[in-house]
């Protein structure tokens, strides 16, 4: 039996999906003490089933739980890693606040953080689909926290890399095939690319697709920044695939990428998550074809620029559905 990723242009998501309004309501009721933790858990389980089904109906091959159990990509892990604490929200932009965690003690080993959610999602997904597990990478965990203990950037990043590696080992042993290491902080701090190369070596140690029977892909997602500043050094990061945003940057880096041998797969961001207009199938097809400027069709996976959680739910669905249709039509043309 062939795996779903072995066809041309497999479709996937980056991670987050809009939460059903009722889930937010249940979470508020839980915080106010009106709903038990057990009820919140049940609501999150139900939301995962609904969203996994939404991904399937939209035609996504390698899907996920839409991060229904996570509020934010650093906070989720910081709540689970011993040695982190929270001192209250920090203003990030406009009236948006972020619970920026602090490292207040030497970091201990957490209990498994993602294995239960992976196993639940896998059971919720029907035959012929894969499940991708996003995990926040050590550089972003470091960069979006305060350090009150280590005082040595490299030491803290490497400690976090060991923690992330332990978790990926557990996921791989549980049967996870597709891991996505999220490092959005990387492209805003290109001067730290060497540290990210070194940290990622430790993150994937023992769980590369060559080393672990279950693993098919180690993927890194980077968004927001200037990829040109980290290219081609970026190609030394030991992952099989980069999933990157292209539409929102107006394909600015396609030509730059073509200047060197792009010897990995590309998860090609082909729909804009900042635009509430659902792109037409034809437009998405020509977006995807921009990738052939620096890679062959066999190297291309198809995904949105980034997680779609800030879009209205029907818009998010419409974008994923048209994206899948575009990939399907291209598959017929290129096979
Ligand atoms: Zn992103």
Angle between helices 313-334 and 37-57 (to 10 degrees): 40
CA of 203 to the centre of ligand 1 (A): 19
Per-residue pLDDT of 18-57, as tens digits, reads 999 999 999 999 999 999 999 999 999 999 999 999 999 9
Judged against a pLDDT cut of 70, whether residue 1 lies above it is answered with no
* Joined tokens for residue 244: 């990157």
| 216 in a known ligand binding site | no
As a whole number of angstroms, the distance between CA 67 and CA 47 comes to: 10
Residue 287, domain member (yes or no): yes
CA of 244 to the centre of ligand 1 (A): 8
CA of 226 to the centre of ligand 1 (A): 13
154: containing domain: 4-19+55-334
The CATH code of the domain that includes 15 is: 3.20.20.210
Residue 253, domain member (yes or no): yes
| 270 in a known ligand binding site | no
Is residue 103 left, alpha or beta, with left meaning phi > 0 and alpha meaning psi from -120 to 50? beta
| Domain count across the chain | 1
| Residue 16: per-residue pLDDT | 97
| 306 in a known ligand binding site | yes
CA of 26 to the centre of ligand 1 (A): 26
**HSE toward the beta carbon, residue 71, CA cutoff 13 A:** 11
Judged against a pLDDT cut of 60, whether residue 181 lies above it is answered with yes
| pLDDT classification of 335: cutoffs 50, 70, 90 | confident
Which candidate, 69, 83, 156, places its Cα nearest to that of 114? 69
| 212 in a known ligand binding site | no
Residue 294, domain member (yes or no): yes
User: What's the DSSP call for residue 157?
Assistant: H
Question: Residue 262 in contact with residue 294, Cβ under 8 Å?
Answer: yes
Residue 45, domain member (yes or no): no
| Residue 97: per-residue pLDDT | 74
CA of 34 to the centre of ligand 1 (A): 34
Query: What integer is the mean pLDDT of 190-201?
Result: 96
CA of 35 to the centre of ligand 1 (A): 32
CA of 307 to the centre of ligand 1 (A): 6
């Amino acid at each position: 039996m062939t795996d779903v990723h072995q066809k041309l242009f497999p479709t996937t998501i980056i991670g987050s999906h809009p939460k059903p309004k009722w889930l937010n309501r249940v979470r508020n009721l839980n915080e106010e003490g009106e709903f038990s933790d057990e009820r919140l858990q049940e609501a999150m389980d139900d939301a995962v089933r609904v969203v996994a089904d939404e991904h399937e109906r939209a035609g996504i091959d390698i899907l996920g739980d839409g991060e229904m159990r996570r509020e934010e990509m650093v906070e989720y892990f910081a709540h689970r890693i011993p040695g982190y604490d929270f001192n209250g929200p920090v203003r990030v932009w406009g009236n948006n606040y972020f619970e920026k965690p602090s490292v207040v003690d030497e970091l201990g080993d957490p209990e498994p953080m993602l294995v239960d959610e992976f196993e639940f999602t896998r059971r919720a997904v029907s035959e012929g689909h894969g499940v991708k597990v996003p995990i926040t990478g050590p550089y972003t965990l470091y960069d979006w926290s305060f350090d009150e203990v280590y005082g040595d950037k490299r030491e803290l990043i490497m400690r976090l890399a060991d923690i992330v590696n332990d978790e990926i080992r557990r996921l791989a042993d549980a049967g996870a095939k597709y891991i996505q290491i999220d490092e959005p902080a990387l492209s805003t701090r290109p001067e730290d690319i060497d540290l990210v190369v070194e940290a990622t070596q430790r993150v994937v140690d023992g769980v590369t697709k060559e080393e672990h029977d279950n693993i098919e892909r180690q993927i890194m997602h980077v968004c927001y920044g200037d990829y040109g500043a980290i290219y081609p050094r970026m190609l030394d990061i030991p992952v099989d695939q980069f999933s990157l945003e292209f539409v929102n940057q107006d394909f600015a880096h396609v030509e730059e990428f073509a200047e060197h041998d792009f010897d990995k797969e590309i998860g090609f961001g082909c729909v804009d998550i900042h635009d509430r207009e659902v792109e037409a199938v034809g437009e998405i097809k020509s977006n995807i074809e921009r990738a052939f400027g620096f890679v062959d069709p066999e190297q291309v996976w198809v995904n949105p620029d980034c997680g779609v959680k800030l879009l209205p739910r029907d818009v998010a669905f419409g974008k994923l559905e048209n994206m899948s249709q575009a990939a399907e039509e291209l598959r017929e043309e290129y096979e």
